[in-house]
Structure 1
């Protein structure tokens, strides 16, 4: 892994992080945006849920498209759509126009996120791929950690519309970095020219292949729980502990260091014990984090913080390990496999975020159940048969 240039690594990490940045930077500003657009705070949740739904579906298209025509035109086209969507959001005068802009943003970041994983798979496999994905995750962990803090500071200085100006600048910078640093990673001789019926059969094959589905479902469950945490934790911190928007941002920023530690640990443990074992350890820790939050709700902020730390460390083990296990056997259709993986992740994110917002009872208890449930689903998906499937594949 020492041969991977740092600018190349950082560019792929930034592409992967663009979706989370585009969502989390808005979190502190949603009440202000609702007031400015004459909408309710409840209706503003569509700004998040619509984004996740379009993001999930768009990945199913951009992945196989990139397998056919190459990564470069799809990434750059996606970033162009993202920039246009950000401009529409910045100029929006009502909620429907804002949602239209958010849908365009979601289409654009789908290309960026899917093809960052696919580009990594184009160049690496096995332990090298797992280590690269772990390092990408370490870098991109800054997006969910620091973007709410950045969003709060930008809104305080220039208003909520400036958030979308920041996203426009991010899209332009990423396009320039991709052209200058990464470029095309899928040579013409490795591209797959196949009709739509063959693409559909490709998805069916992936859905029926345990080598893909077990780690993919584990990763989807754990990242779905993570998005539920993103959507619910600010409310818990504000209502239960009296945090200001700035303090919420600082809490997320400090949580980044837990993910950093997990991302550095995952490849070392995978080389020692194997990816399937690390996946199960991470899923067990994520489950423990949710259960800790449930039983420690009376311990105040300290109990909440400890539970969050346990969950995030487990998530940081599962995410790169499960992604590497899911993509490694499918070099010839990396874009399609990455697209289906991303679809499953965003579908789980939409489902578990909705569950955390609608379950009865206190928000912290609802979040705890979702975190524990996501971890348990990941643990069940990464059960012993996964190891057997990987051994057979090797």
Structure 2
């Protein structure tokens, strides 16, 4: 594997490279969403309640969040390739443990191993994009990655439903294992290392700690980073809440849940495809804030209908939220990473930590709040997107001063 990018001549943004980066980024989402329709069968098989199955999500998000803080700086020091490959091996091992689990603690342990691998591929997909591209091209690359990634949460529940019905819930982890092997082969054969040795940084604990502390107080990073992370946290909270809300309280079948997830792909596709044209006309900060406000409107709509058992308005409000998320995610991510090309791994890791920490918080709140799952999710989206809007205002103000 040669150093194919990150040099003076960036590699072109081809369809193959885009699909590979998106696959690396989406591996954790695939592993989570493909098992959601199987929750009732898994709970029955392991003799636990569906509510206890939520531990397979919150434990995954927690390890995912913390693991990135180590992977980012290590990849800045030693290159991306060893940690991409190592992450895929860990994900494969975790998938096998999950597939063989006969008790909930074993399943949770397997999910945690999966998370350790998926956090590496996720954080490094963004770092590789930052190694290779700058400015508008970076925003375009991330936006296109998000479009391709939309297929993972959109279609993986449908795959999970079909596999569970045909072969049982363990087959979902067989597919996850196959995905890790396929992505690994594609990475080794077509991409390889993207961080030249001359751009690598020390990984000493002191230097890493100082860099993280500097990023945490740098308004160029923390404001767009927090805004994106709050919205993404709401997205993952939906993944955790959807089975309880739609299948439990609203009577939607597993197939219906899968169809809804698949339909949302169109919304995220449309939002992502529009970012380039909108940015050229209005500028990234304005479009990003518009995305947050659209997501907030979806949260308000959810709040106004809390307590309803009708799935149609709930799905419509979630769709509105997803449209806003599809705008702010690539734009906010690019704005947060753009100034830090010399420490892309650390910046991507801290951004991922913020996202997964808030995802873990959101999924935990779904079960912890003393109200119904739909009401809890409505408050999480409304509150999270409201805070995201406040966090993004300084980004727009800084752009106007520039």
User: By how many angstroms is 1:271 displaced?
Assistant: 2.3
Which residue does the alignment assign to 1:216? Answer: 225
1:202 aligns with 2:211: yes
RMSD (CA atoms): 1.7
Aligned equivalents of 2:250 and 2:16: distance in 1? 40
Paired residues, number: 392
- Residue equivalent to 1:88: 97
Distance apart, 1:31 and its partner CA? 2.0
Give the 5 Å matches for 1:362-373.
362-373=372-383
Structure 1, gaps ≥5 residues long = none
TM-superposed deviation, 1:330 = 0.1
Q: Report the equivalent of 2:362.
A: 352
For residue 87 of structure 1, report the CA deviation from its aligned partner.
1.0
Q: Is the 8 A contact 2:237 2:362 kept in 1?
A: yes
Instruction: Give the Cα separation in 2 of the matches to 1:21 and 1:89.
Output: 14
Q: For residue 300 of structure 1, what is the aligned residue in structure 2? A: 310
In the superposition, the TM-score normalised over structure 2's length comes to 0.94
CA positional deviation for 1:267: 2.5
Unaligned runs of 5+ in 2: 1-9
Deviation at 1:314, TM superposition (A): 0.4
Matches within 5 A, 1:173-192: 173-192=182-201
Q: 1:76 to 1:92 in 2, by over 3 A?
A: same
Which residue number in structure 2 is paired with residue 97 of structure 1? 106
1:299: how far off?
9.0
Flag the 1:73–1:367 CA change in 2: closer, same or farther, 3 A. Answer: same
State how far apart, in whole Å, the 1-side matches of 2:15 and 2:206 are.
39
Paired residue secondary structure (1:382): helix
1:325 corresponds to 2:343: no
For residues 292 and 304 of structure 2, the distance between their equivalents in structure 1, rounded to whole angstroms, comes to 19
For residues 70-89 of structure 1, the aligned pairs below 5 Å read 70-89=79-98
CA contact (8 A) 2:230 2:355 kept: yes
1:390 deviates by: 5.0
For residues 261-313 of structure 1, give each alpha carbon's deviation from its aligned partner in whole angstroms, at most 9, with x where no partner exists.
Answer: 11111222122222211111011111100111222455933322221121110
CA positional deviation for 1:356: 2.8
Task: Give the equivalent residue in structure 2 for 1:282.
Answer: 291
Residue 42 of structure 2 contacts residue 169 of structure 2 at CA under 8 Å; is this kept in 1? yes
The reply to whether residue 54 of structure 1 matches residue 63 of structure 2 is: yes
| 2:144 is aligned with 1:135 | yes
Matched, 1:247 2:240: no
Q: Is the 8 A contact 1:211 1:390 kept in 2?
A: no
Q: Which moved more, 1:151-160 or 1:291-300?
A: 291-300
Q: Per-residue deviation at 1:141?
A: 0.6
* Aligned match of 2:385: 375
Q: TM-score, normalised by structure 1?
A: 0.96
Following TM superposition, by how much is the alpha carbon of 1:167 offset from its aligned partner in structure 2, in angstroms?
Answer: 0.8
For 1:228, the equivalent position in structure 2 comes to: 237
CA distance in 2, matches of 1:289, 1:265: 19
Is the CA contact (8 Å cut-off) linking 2:272 and 2:326 kept in structure 1?
yes
Q: Partners in 1 of 2:144 and 2:32 — Cα distance?
A: 22
Q: Does 1:20 align with 2:52?
A: no
